[in-house]
Amino acid sequence: MEAPAVAQSAEVLLQARSVTKHFGGVAALQGVDLEIRRGEILGVIGPNGAGKTTFVNCISGMDKPTSGTILFKGVDITHMPGYAIGRLGLARTFQVVKPLRQLNVIDNVAVGAMFGAGGSKRNTSQARARAEQVLEQVGLKHRSTHLAADLTLPDLKRLELAKALAMDPELLFLDEVMAGLNPTEVERAMQMLQTINSSGITLFVIEHVMKAIMGISDRIVVLHFGKKIAEGDPSKVIENPQVIEAYLGERFAKRARGERQKR
């Protein structure tokens, strides 16, 4: 049975209005309207180059939209610097992992703990204590004292998640944290994300792994050439002919249906 989606009436945590981003002559995002509701897991799919990461960059202050408005908890964050957005309770991971390579794992995460929503109140040892909790949560505690530079890619993806979680976000953007995991590892990662979500963190999940997207999303948004082409209930979105043609293909559409039925 399908889990009940977050009610339509739930509080809008983030609202993107007509967000457009141009890189020279290339329109990476063209007037994207999108709402993220408190408590939900929003899945985001779309072909490589559709603008998914650019969207997250614009929201998190890594990049500024060419036009449009972004409201987080009702506050206009469109022109806010990234660190201030982090303090407000928004965190993200990076698809191409960005560890501080010369620091060990726990200090990488402690930096997140000092940077985010709860950060200004923490001293170094409090930040390390918070980091330790998070490392436990993501299953990376046994690597605490390793240099980030020495981690394998799946562990670097976990570190990426840990850094963001340590920021105590209300809204967390995850950019392909499951790439390179096998189906059983994906299964474990899905459980982890669901636990994170039930602890009260709203999730925006970009992923090509359909097993995961179909398994955990309350809603799905599809981007294609910088535009939103579909949005809604996962089982409906994967039947949308435009989504199948642009992104899924028949083979994977069939598999995605199976994943949804298993839920």
Partner 1 sequence: MSPEVAPSLSPAKPLLEVSNLSSGYGEVQVLWDVSLEVRLGEVVALIGANGAGKTTLLWTVSKLIRPWSGSIHFDGKNLTHASSDQMVGAGMVQVPQDRRLFPGLSVKDNLLQGAYLRQEKREIQSTLDWVLEILPRLKERLYQDAGLLSGGEQQMCAIGRGLMSKPRLLAIDELSLGLAPLVVDNLLRLIIDINKQGVTVLLVEQDVEVALEQAHRGYVLETGRVVQASKASELLEDPRIRQAYLGL
∠ CA 227-216-115 to the nearest 5 degrees? 75
Which CB, 71 or 179, lies closer to partner 1? 179
- Minimum gap (Å) between residue 216 Cβ and partner 1: 13
Contacting partner 1 within 85-114 (CB under 8 A): 95
Q: Which residues of 226-235 are buried (b: 16+ CB within 10 A; e: fewer)?
A: bebbbbeebb
User: Does residue 210 touch partner 1 according to CB under 8 A?
Assistant: yes
Q: Is 231:237 a contact under the CB 8 Å cutoff?
A: yes
Stretch that binds partner 1, among 5-13, 28-36, 102-110, 207-215 (CB under 8 A): 207-215
Q: For residue 173, what are the β-bridge partners?
A: 92, 204
Which CB, 183 or 241, lies closer to partner 1? 183
- Of residues 154, 194, 227, 235, which one binds partner 1 by CB under 8 A? 154
User: Does residue 239 touch partner 1 according to CB under 8 A?
Assistant: no
- Minimum gap (Å) between residue 134 Cβ and partner 1: 21
User: Does residue 252 touch partner 1 according to CB under 8 A?
Assistant: yes
Contacting partner 1 within 34-53 (CB under 8 A): 45-49
Quote the DSSP letter at residue 202: E
For helices 105-115 and 153-165, give the axis angle rounded to 10 degrees: 30
- Minimum gap (Å) between residue 66 Cβ and partner 1: 20
Cα(189)–Cα(170) distance, integer angstroms:
19
- Minimum gap (Å) between residue 46 Cβ and partner 1: 7
User: Does residue 152 touch partner 1 according to CB under 8 A?
Assistant: yes
- Minimum gap (Å) between residue 182 Cβ and partner 1: 5
Contacting partner 1 within 115-134 (CB under 8 A): none
- Of residues 40, 176, 218, 231, which one binds partner 1 by CB under 8 A? 176
DSSP string, 17-82: EEEEEEETTEEEEEEEEEEEETT-EEEEE--TTSSHHHHHHHHHTSS--SEEEEEETTEE-TT--H
Which residue's structure tokens are 């105590």? Answer: 168
CA atoms in the 13 A half-sphere facing the CB of 61: 18
Q: Determine how β-strand 41-45 pairs with β-strand 202-206.
A: parallel
Which CB, 82 or 154, lies closer to partner 1? 154
User: Does residue 24 touch partner 1 according to CB under 8 A?
Assistant: no
Cα(157)–Cα(216) distance, integer angstroms:
19
User: Does residue 198 touch partner 1 according to CB under 8 A?
Assistant: no
What are the φ and ψ backbone dihedral angles of 214, each rounded to 5 degrees? Answer: -70, -30
- Of residues 181, 193, 201, 221, which one binds partner 1 by CB under 8 A? 181
Interface size with partner 1, residues (CB under 8 A): 30
Residues engaged in binding partner 1 (CB under 8 A): 45-49, 95, 152-154, 176, 179-187, 208, 210-211, 246-249, 251-252, 255-256
